[in-house]
Each structure stands twice: as structure tokens, then as C-alpha cells.
Structure 1
Amino acid sequence: MMEEPHAHENLVAKASKLKGDDPESGSNSSQESLNESLSSLDAAIRTTTELPRDPLILNPQSLGIYLLEPFILILLFAYNFSSTVLKNEVIYQSCTAGFGYPDNVCQLLGSKNATNETKRIEEIVQPYAAKVTLVMRLVECFIPAFCGLFAGAWADRYGRKPLLMLSFLGYGLQYLNSAIIAYCSKLNHGLVSPWWYVLSIIPPSFVGSSVTYPVAAVCFIGDVSEGRARSYRMIAYELAIYVGLLLGSFGSGYAYEATDSYIVFSISAVSILTALFLIKVLLPESLPLRSQTGTGSITDTSVISLLKNLWKTCWKSREHKNRFILLTIMVVLLLTAFVSDGSNSVFYKFMRIKFHWTVKQFTQYETVSILVPAVAGFGGVLFIWTLRKCTKSAIILLALVSLLSHCSSSLIKAFAMVDWQIYVAIGLGVFKSLVNPMCRTMITNLVPADERGKIFSLLGVLQALSPLISSTLYVAIYTLTLNSDPGIFNFFSAFLYGIGIILLGIVWHTKSRNQVYYEPVFK
């Protein structure tokens, strides 16, 4: 618990009062009372050198606090259920509306019945579709980055739950709009421009999309957990993401073959909007009422002032080497987001052009690529529990192992000549799900509760802006190497993961100079 103002002086005053209030009591009793008070004073003084702790943790018996992960699972299920289908629709409508090829020819793109002619057409269509995808990524960067500037202030002022609900509402509207566009495309034999999908992502972008829900979720977990339990909740949060992606990927290909794209988008929309209703009814607010300040407006300060405030929170001096470690861990998280965003923007096209995979084949691959790290994440809970018995650096050690797993997986993808080698890369990437929860746990342990919203908000904004560079860069690399070796972008990914390994190695060296202080952060 945090000490109240002047708590130390109150303890001293109590000690003095115990010594002089009852002159007829025995000296031994007075001495014992004085010793107890001085011991309390010494304990209070020692807490000033400890890492910041939370002012209040919700009652752990409240089952509502454990519903966050299932809701995140539903959101990521809906996202991945439609993700590959959306990419496929962009390519299909680029073929029909963009280049004017017949509908029956464009439907063969990416199918088992593809001919040499359709493969030639796909090589023409893919660069155009890549531009549409790139613009969608840019919209998903600019608007959420601006809105995300307010996410931390909103979360710290009004609570985590409203922010989470706004994010779900935005995604639900996106898939409703996508379903309408896909249905119109079906009625018009594909003659609907793929650029309409850019408009469908505006609703989630204006509520922060990928910036807001992670800020709300991570702050919620920080509010309702402490100590070692926090790292387990962070792993559970990451597992919810992976399991949601797994279920979405597994069902997507079968649903798309059995129905149509607008049905797939509709299922995603209904799933998210149902989860939104359940959040309103069942999920408690984690931020204590006395910590929420409802006065003023989120926009009562300029964007420049808000940016300065966010930056000062990250850059302000901290005891020991906390500021350096905090910033370094944030850079590692930014690197992993940079690679993930950039690689995802071209990987589906890479698999189609090199191995001629269908939507179903790709979603089956996605299912396995998510299942393996998800199972490893469950094992990671036991792994970290075991590591804590033999090392004081369990969290950072798992983060390093995860980055090594990422790096080796990217190298195998780069050298892959046949498609089964892509599955070997999945095996080497078995621990890739652990780097994000471990880094977030370290950040949460390093900063007090009233700064987490700002820290993760700034981190979310930077991660949202990273595709401006990563998607552009990866698309450029992919386009330039399309006719020679379209998998070269994987070498670049491995290089960036290598930089992350070096940075975490520096953090390890820094914390080793003060093992006692940093043990609660990294163990």
C-alpha cells in the first residue's frame, strides 16, 4: 500500500506518545511499544526505496476481473476470421473493378484451378492490390495515432472500461461496413472498387483501433494484479490474443468456402457487438473511483502540450537506471511491432506468388502458426514458474528466448524453397508469443499505476505510426524483389530481431549492477 502524507511523522508522534502517556506502566511495556513503533517506522522508510506499488487492487474474489481475456479473445477471433478474406477480396475486386478482367477469370485467382494465364494476371493485379492495402494501413496509422494521444489520459481519468468499449464499437462498425461492401460487390459481379474498403476502417480508426484496446487491457491487468501474478495475467492476455487468432484463422477458410465474404464479415461484426454488450453488463471498472477525475475535458489542452506531457512521463528522471531500462524495453516492443506490421502486409502475397496457396491453405497455415506459440505460451506459465526457482531474471530471460525464436523463424522463411519449410519455421518460432507479455510486465513493474496509461498510450501511438514506415518499406522491398526472390524481406526481419536481442542484453547487463533492487522487476 502507498503511505499516506506525513505517515512517517505520524509514526514518530505515536512512538513519543506511547512513551509518555502512561507514567505508571512498566518500563518494559513502554520499551516494547517503542521498539514496535520504531520497527514500523523503519519498515515505512524502507518502502520509499522499493519499486512503485498500486494504491488499490480490486477484490481478487470478484470473478468479473477475469472476463477481460475472453473478451479480447472474441475481438481477435473476429479480426482474424475476416483478415485473410479481406485481403483476398481486395485482390479480387482489384482484378474486376481495377483492371476490368471478367468475373469468372478473377474468381480463379488464388484457387486450385489457377492456370498460367490467371497466374500472369495475378502478377499484374498484386502491385495494385498492394497499394490499396498500403493506403488502408496508412489510414490505420494516422488517425489512430492522433486519437491514441488521448487514450492514456482518458484511461487514467475516466477508467479503462469506457476506452475498451469504444474500441469494440469501432471494430464492430468496420466489419458491418465491410459486409455491406462485399455484398454490393457480389450483386455487381465484383465491379465495386476495392478502395471502398479504405472507408470501412475509418470507424475503428477514429476511436484508436489497435491503440486503445491494448492500453485499456494492459492498464486493467495492472490495476487488478500485482507482484508475480501480474506476469501470469500478461501471459494469459497474450494467450487470449493467440487463441482468438487461432480460432478465427481455423474457421475462416471453411466459412469462406461454404458461404461468401459478406457472411464472414457479418459473423465478425455480430461477434464483436455481442462482446460489447457483455462488457457493458459484466466487466467491472478496475480504476478506483477516487482515482478517476471527471473534471475538465480530454481536449482541454493542446495536442502539443499533451505530447509534451506524454514525453515527460517517459523521459523524466527515475531512480537507479529505471529510465534507461524503460525506454530500452519500449524500443524492443516497437521493433517487434515494426516487423510484425511490415511482414504481415506482404506475407500473404508472398505465399500466393511463391507457393500458389489458396485462401484455405493459407488459413490452415495460420492456424498452425498460431496454435504452436499458443501452446508454448501455456507452457511458458510453467516455464517461468520453474525459472523463478533458479534465477532472478526469469522475465527477461524468456523475452530473450522469444526474440531468438522470432529471428530463427524469419531466417528459415527467407531460405524456404518448398512450402513444408514454412512449417519448419513455425517450429522454430515456438516461443515467439512470450516477448510482448514479458516486456509489458517489466514496464508495468517499473512505473506506478497513475503513469501506466500515459506510458502505454505513447507506446501504442508509436506502434500505430510504425506501419507508416514498416508497411511502406516492406512493400517496397517485396515489389523490388518480386521477380528475383520475393522472400528477401524475411532477412530484414531477422536483422531487426537481432537488434532487439542486443538491446535486451544491454538491459540484462544494466540490471545486474543492482540485483536486489531489480529482482521484483525481472523475476
Structure 2
Amino acid sequence: MVFIFVTLFIDILGIGIIIPILPELIREFLGGNVAQAGRYYGVIIAVYATMQFLCAPAVGALSDRYGRRPIILASLFGLGTDYLIQAWAPSIGWLFLGRLVAGVMGASITTANAYIADVSTPETRARNYGFVGAAFGLGFIFGPALGGLLGGISLRLPFFVSAGLALVNWLYGFFVLPESLAPEHRSTVSWRKMNPLGSLRQLQAYPLVAGLAVAFLFASMAQRGLENVWVLHTTFRYGWNMQTNGLTLALVGLMAVLVQGFLIKPIVARMGERRTITLGLTASMLAFLAYGLASQGWMVPPIIVFGALAGVALPAIQGLVAGTVHSSDQGKIQGAFTSLTSMTAIVSPLVFTSGLFSYFTSETAPIILPGAPFFLGSLLFLVSLALLARLFRRLPLTTNLALTSALRGRGHSRPDVVSRATIRP
């Protein structure tokens, strides 16, 4: 379990290290043109996300067939090698290749989660998955800060450090990582299991959940937009260097850990899922509007602190979904939401970075407006709020009768679900 925690931490740390560096490296290849850098950066991020989306089900299915150990070790070795390719990349084309391979190898997170499920008991499962959340949080706190500091020495150095971490982890795992999936529990490879869109069909069985999924999609799209455009926006608008970008991204990660690790539980307990979702989406909408309007760099950290309340919205939506869905469908429905998140990771950089940011910082734009992506994000959060308000008004979730009607919307009658689901206003 310790090795898996370290593996996930190093994976996320490696991603975090590169976040403040990659846009600068692309800009260097393009002679310092920010608008062009935005266009290429958005496509590169979309390529990475697309490979993760397509390969995660396949990697998971292969680990069910051949075991977790060989897949995890192969992914670590491939990731380390890929970071070296990016470190030595002589052109932007090599960066594209590097991020494509990184997307394939980054799909090992699916296998790491399966490994945790194999070795956990019902008593330790929640704690072990809590370690997963901690690994992600720590990686996104320390990764950008370290990347910014290393990038100040050399733009290539963060890639070498990430490669070293991955390869040392691979070597350590080669000697100490046991197999968690016994041969008698392995399954054959099914192409059906590898379909990344297959889980989305499960939403048809729950009209109420499908409505929540649409709102989740808009909010997730906006949130991804912030991640994708941050470095280019702050560099263009405020003249921030990599160190400043790394530290502010570390602050974003720290606030996310504090809110999701310590505040979301008491907030939901006091306000209920519906009001928590409304709080989070409203905070998101206002924070994005403030980011778009902020004319000075000193305004950004207070917005980060306030905007951290946004971190309660998406988990609360998923919690609301979990309380609505029958236990036999939980995995399928949560898988559908994971697919939605992956889809937004593909589309968002193309819209926010390659599209809006690139256009509104170019010479052909009628007005220079680097905050345009944040204005779109604020609008998407508003749309999400409006959809949920309409859904909650049409289906008053304070009554079990309303939930029964929602579940029967397409011929489903499941009183067992209603008896379990208590959805507070």
C-alpha cells in the first residue's frame, strides 16, 4: 500500500511539476508568441487527455487479465522514458509525441485504484482511498511549486527530475511490489470493457441523475478551463514568471485540499447536498468573473482563497447521485461521471486555451481580452446553476414521492432506492 501511495504521488507530482513549465517551453519553440502558444498548448493538453480517456478502460482490462504488477511497472518505466523524450525534445512535434505517450502511461492510475481495491478490506477501504486523495492533493501542492523553482534554473530540468522520480519508483517497485490479483481471479480481455463511452449509457436508466450529469458537465468544463489557461493568462496579463505561477498553483492545490479534506463534510452536514451545490457553483461563478476582471496580480490570491469554496460543488453533486442510485448501479453511474470528467478534459483546452485565449490575445482580435476564458467559465457555472434550479423545482427532492417519480421516468419502479435515498434540500 505504501508503494501505491508513493506511485500515485510521484505520478501527480510529475504532472504538477510540468504544469508551469510546458506553456513556457512551447512559447520558446514559437519565438515568444503567446497567442500561438495558447493554440498549441490547448491541443497538446487535449491530446494527453484523449489518450487517457481512450486508454484507461483498456489498461484496466489488461490489468484484470495479466495482473496489476506488470501493468503498473510498465507504465512507470514508460512514463520515465517519456519524460526524457520531452526533456530532449528538439521541436514542438516531439512535445506532441511526448504528451501522447504520457497520456497512455498516465492511465495507470486506473490500475493503481484497482490494486487498492484488491488489497483492501471493507474496514480499510475508505482509509486507503483517502490516501489516494492525499497523494493527489500533495502532488498538486508540491508539484507546481517545485516545477516553477526548477524551471527558473532550466526549462528542461523539471522533465529530467520527473523522469528520475518515475524511473527510481519503477526500479523500487520491480523488487518490492507484489502482485495483488491472484490468477484464479483474473478475467479474459473483453473489447466491451474497453469502450470508454459505454458507461454513459447507464445514465438513461435514471432521468434525475442524467439531469445532474448535464449540470456536472458544464461545471466540470469550466473548472478544467481554469487549469488549462492559468499559466498563459497570468504570464500575459501580469508578467508573472514560472516561480510565481508555480507558487500560486500550489496555493490553489492547498486550498482545494483544505476545502475538500476538512470543510466539505461539515458544510454538507449543515446545509444539505442541494444548498452545498448551490454555494459551490455560486462561488465558482463569482470567482471566475473576478479572475476575468482582475487587472492587477495582487488581486489573484484573495480570489483563489474565496474561489476554493467551488471545491464543494462537484463532490456534492456526486454525493447526491450516490444517494439516488441503487447499490448495484453505483459503479456504473460513477464510471459514467468519470467519463464525463475525461471528456471535459479533452474539450476544455480546445475551447478555453486554443480557442478563446489564443484569439483574444492575437493581433486579429477586435479587442485584447485575456480574461475571456474566465468570463465563459462564469457563464457555464451560471448555466449549471440554472439547470439545477429548474431540476430541483420540477422535482422537489425533499420528498421520497418526487424521487420515486423521477426514477419511474423511464419505466423504473424501485422503492428500494427511495427507502435508501434521503436527499436534503
More helix by share: 2
Q: 2:338 aligned with 1:463, yes or no? A: no
Give 1:199's aligned residue.
Answer: 97
Which residues of 2 match residues 106-255 of structure 1 at below 5 A?
122=32, 125-150=33-58, 153-154=61-62, 167-181=75-89, 192-207=90-105, 209=106, 213=109, 217=113, 220=116, 224=120, 230=126, 237-255=132-150
Q: 1:479 aligns with which of 358, 364, 387?
A: 358
The answer to whether the 8 A contact 2:80-2:162 is kept is yes
Q: Secondary structure at the match of 1:430?
A: helix
1:358 Cα deviation after fit? 1.2
Counterpart code for 1:243: L
Change in Cα spacing, 1:293 to 1:287, as seen in structure 2 (3 Å) is: closer
Is the 8 Å Cα contact of residues 407 and 497 (structure 1) preserved in structure 2?
A: yes
Q: Deviations over 1:158-196 (max 9, x none)?
A: 677766556545433331211222xxxxxxxxxx32222
Could you tell me which of 281, 292, 312 is aligned with 1:403?
A: 281
TM-score, structure 2 as length reference: 0.77
Of 251, 260, 281, which aligns to 2:154?
260
2:379 aligned with 1:379, yes or no? no
Shift of 1:268: 1.0
The equivalences for 1:433-512 within 5 A come to 433-441=311-319, 446=325, 448=327, 452=331, 455=333, 457-474=335-352, 475-482=354-361, 483-505=367-389, 506=391, 511-512=397-398
Contact 1:175 1:265 survives alignment (8 Å): yes
Conserved? CA contact 2:119–2:180, under 8 Å? yes
5+ residue gaps, structure 2, are 362-366, 401-417
* 1:364 to 2:253 alignment: no
Determine the C-alpha separation between the residues in 1 that align with 2:306 and 2:250.
16
How far residue 370 of structure 1 moved from its aligned partner, in angstroms, is: 2.1
What is the identity, as a one-letter code, of the residue corresponding to 1:264? P
Q: Does 1:94 align with 2:2?
A: no
- 2:297 is aligned, of 419, 422, 429, to 419
Q: Deviations over 1:337-395 (max 9, x none)?
A: 42233333332222122111111121122222222232233322xx515754x56x35x
1:272 counterpart = 2:166? yes
Sort the Cα spacing of 1:167 and 1:448 in 2 relative to 1 into closer, same or farther, 3 A: farther
Q: Indicate the structure (1 or 2) with the bigger Cα radius of gyration.
A: 1
CA distance in 2 between counterparts of 1:225 and 1:406 reads 37
Unaligned regions of 5+ residues in structure 1, if any? 1-63, 96-121, 182-191, 318-322
Q: Give the superposition deviation at 1:91.
A: 0.9
Instruction: Tell me what 2:415 maps to.
Output: none
Tell me how far 1:422 sits from its aligned partner: 1.2
- Of 206, 215, 222, 1:339 maps to 222
Cα deviation per residue 1:271-328 (whole Å; 9 max; x = unaligned)? Answer: 23344455667677777877x4423x234x597xx4685344443x3xxxxx234434
CA distance in 2, matches of 1:402, 1:512: 20
1:312/1:468 Cα in 2 relative to 1: closer, same or farther (>3 Å)? closer
CA distance in 2 between partners of 1:261 and 1:504 (Å): 44
- Report how many residues are paired: 399
Q: In the aligned structure 1, how far is the partner of 2:125 from the partner of 2:212?
A: 20
- Cα distance in 1 for residues equivalent to 2:70 and 2:328: 18
Contact 1:152 1:455 in 2 (8 A): no
Alignment-derived partner of residue 309 in structure 2? 431
Paired with 2:46 and 2:82, the residues of 1 have a C-alpha distance of 16
**260 and 480 in structure 1: CA distance in 2 versus 1, 3 angstrom threshold:** closer
Q: CA deviation at 1:477?
A: 1.8
The CA deviation at 1:265 is 0.9
Which whole-Å CA distance do the structure 2 matches of 1:225 and 1:439 have between them? 27
CA distance in 2, matches of 1:279, 1:433: 34
Deviates more, 1:193-202 or 1:274-283: 274-283
Cα distance in 2 between the residues matched to 1:159 and 1:507: 44
CA–CA distance in structure 2, aligned partners of residues 245 and 180 of structure 1: 24
Q: Displacement of 1:405 after TM fit?
A: 2.8
Choose which of 228, 232, 255 in structure 2 pairs with 1:349. 232
Distance verdict in 2 for CA 1:311–1:242, change over 3 Å: closer
Residue 298 of structure 1 pairs with residue 179 of structure 2: no
**1:61 counterpart residue number:** none
| 8 Å CA contact 1:160, 1:220 repeated in 2 | no
SS in 2 for 1:268: helix
Q: CA deviation at 1:413?
A: 0.4
Determine helix, strand or coil for the equivalent of 2:19.
helix
**Paired AA for residue 374 in structure 1:** V
Query: How far is 1:518 from its partner?
Result: 0.9
- Aligned-pair CA distance for 1:495: 1.6
> How many Å separate the matches in 2 of 1:457 and 1:199?
28
Q: In structure 1, how many angstroms separate the alpha carbons of the residues matched to 2:327 and 2:221?
A: 27
What SS does the corresponding residue of 2:91 show, helix, strand or coil?
coil
Give the TM-score of the pair, scaled to structure 1.
Answer: 0.64
Following TM superposition, by how much is the alpha carbon of 1:492 offset from its aligned partner in structure 2, in angstroms? 0.9
